Chains A and B, each alone.
Chain A
Amino acid sequence: MNPAVVFENVTFSYPESDEPALKDVSLVIPEGSFALVAGRTGSGKSTLLRAINGLVPHFSGGTFEGRVELQGRSTIDQPPRYLAGVVAFVPQDPDASFVLDRVEDELAYAMENLAVPPVTMRRRVEEVLDLMSLAELRDRSVRSLSGGERQRVAVAAALTAGPRILVLDEPTSQLDPQGAEDVLAGLQRLVHDLGLTVVLAEHRLERVAGFADLAIVCDAGSVSAGEPEPTLSEAGLGPPVARLARLAGWAETPLTVRDARQVAHRYRLPEPDLAPRFRQPPVLELVGVGASYGSRTALEDVSLSLSPGEVAALIGRNGAGKTTLLRCATGLHEVSKGTVSIAGDPPEPGRTIALCPQEPGTVLYKDTVVAEVAATFAARGLLDRDKVSDLLNRFGLAAHASDHPRDLSAGEQLLVATAAIVATGASVLLLDEPTRGLDPESKGLLGGFLRDFASRGGAVMFATHDVELVAAVADRVVLLAGGEVIADGSPSEVLGDSHVFSPQMTRVFGPGWLTPEQVARALVPS
Chain B
Amino acid sequence: MHPGAWIVWAACAGWVAFSTTNPFYLVVLLGAAWIVHASHRREGPASRSFRVFLLFGLWAMGTRTALVFLGTVEASSVTLALFEGFRLGVLLAVFGTFNSVTDPFGILRFAPRRFHEPALASALALSLAPRTIAATAKVREAQRLRGFRGRRWRMLPSLAVPVLENGMEAALTLAESMDARGHGSGPRTRYRPQAWGPGSWVVASTASLGAVAFLGAVIEHSGGLSPSTFPLEWPEVSSVLLIAVALLAVPALVSDGNDS
Tally the A-B contacts, defined by beta carbons under 8 Å.
179
> A406 within 8 Å of B by Cβ?
yes
Chain A residues 27-81 with CB under 8 Å of chain B are 53, 55, 58-59, 79-81
> B192 within 8 Å of A by Cβ?
yes
Contact between B145 and A161, CB atoms less than 8 A apart: no
Most buried by A among B148, B172, B182: B182
Chain A residues 66-111 with CB under 8 Å of chain B are 79-82, 84-85, 88-89, 91, 93, 95-102, 104-105, 108-111
In the bound complex, what is the Cα–Cα distance between A468 and B177 (angstroms)?
32
Contact between B148 and A81, CB atoms less than 8 A apart: no
In the bound complex, what is the Cα–Cα distance between A145 and B115 (angstroms)?
32
Nearest-neighbour CB distance to chain B for A118, whole angstroms, equals: 6
Nearest-neighbour CB distance to chain A for B41, whole angstroms, equals: 11
Contact between A84 and B185, CB atoms less than 8 A apart: yes
Contact between A330 and B189, CB atoms less than 8 A apart: no
Most buried by B among A97, A118, A140, A424: A97
Q: Which residue of B lies closest to A356 (CB)?
A: B145
Nearest-neighbour CB distance to chain B for A336, whole angstroms, equals: 20
Contact between B146 and A141, CB atoms less than 8 A apart: no
In the bound complex, what is the Cα–Cα distance between A99 and B134 (angstroms)?
16
Contact between A349 and B181, CB atoms less than 8 A apart: no
Most buried by A among B165, B180, B188: B180
> Hey, which chain A residues are within 8 Å of B162, CB to CB?
361-365
In the bound complex, what is the Cα–Cα distance between A357 and B145 (angstroms)?
9
Contact between B158 and A375, CB atoms less than 8 A apart: yes
Contact between A113 and B181, CB atoms less than 8 A apart: yes
> Hey, which chain A residues are within 8 Å of B139, CB to CB?
362
Contact between B182 and A141, CB atoms less than 8 A apart: no
In the bound complex, what is the Cα–Cα distance between A376 and B148 (angstroms)?
8
> Hey, which chain A residues are within 8 Å of B103, CB to CB?
100-102
> B231 within 8 Å of A by Cβ?
no
> Hey, which chain A residues are within 8 Å of B192, CB to CB?
104, 108, 118, 122
Contact between B146 and A421, CB atoms less than 8 A apart: yes
Q: Which residue of A lies closest to B140 (CB)?
A: A362
> Hey, which chain A residues are within 8 Å of B172, CB to CB?
59
In the bound complex, what is the Cα–Cα distance between A359 and B163 (angstroms)?
12
> A125 within 8 Å of B by Cβ?
yes
In the bound complex, what is the Cα–Cα distance between A355 and B146 (angstroms)?
9
Contact between A143 and B46, CB atoms less than 8 A apart: yes
Interface string of B147-180 (1 = CB under 8 A from A): 1110000000110011001100110111111111
Instruction: Classify chain A: how many residues form its interface, as a range.
Output: 35 or more
> A117 within 8 Å of B by Cβ?
yes
Contact between B147 and A351, CB atoms less than 8 A apart: yes
Interface string of B187-204 (1 = CB under 8 A from A): 111111000000000000
Question: Which of A58, A121, A141, A363 is the one whose CB lies under 8 Å from B142?
Answer: A363
> Hey, which chain B residues are within 8 Å of A114, CB to CB?
182, 185, 188
Nearest-neighbour CB distance to chain B for A175, whole angstroms, equals: 20
Contact between B169 and A361, CB atoms less than 8 A apart: yes
Question: Which of A79, A93, A363 is the one whose CB lies under 8 Å from B173?
Answer: A93
> B51 within 8 Å of A by Cβ?
no
> Hey, which chain A residues are within 8 Å of B187, CB to CB?
115
Contact between A113 and B183, CB atoms less than 8 A apart: yes
Contact between A376 and B142, CB atoms less than 8 A apart: no
In the bound complex, what is the Cα–Cα distance between A113 and B178 (angstroms)?
9
Q: List 11 A-B contacts (CB under 8 A).
A: A55-B176, A59-B175, A81-B181, A82-B185, A85-B182, A97-B176, A110-B182, A112-B190, A118-B191, A142-B44, A365-B165
- Footprint of B on A, CB under 8 Å? 53, 55, 58-59, 79-82, 84-85, 88-89, 91, 93, 95-102, 104-105, 108-118, 121-122, 125, 140-144, 157, 161, 330, 332, 349-351, 354-357, 359, 361-365, 375-376, 379-380, 406, 420-421, 423-424
Given contacts A376-B146, A421-B146, 9 further A-B contacts (CB under 8 A): A59-B172, A100-B106, A101-B42, A105-B106, A113-B182, A113-B185, A141-B43, A143-B43, A406-B165
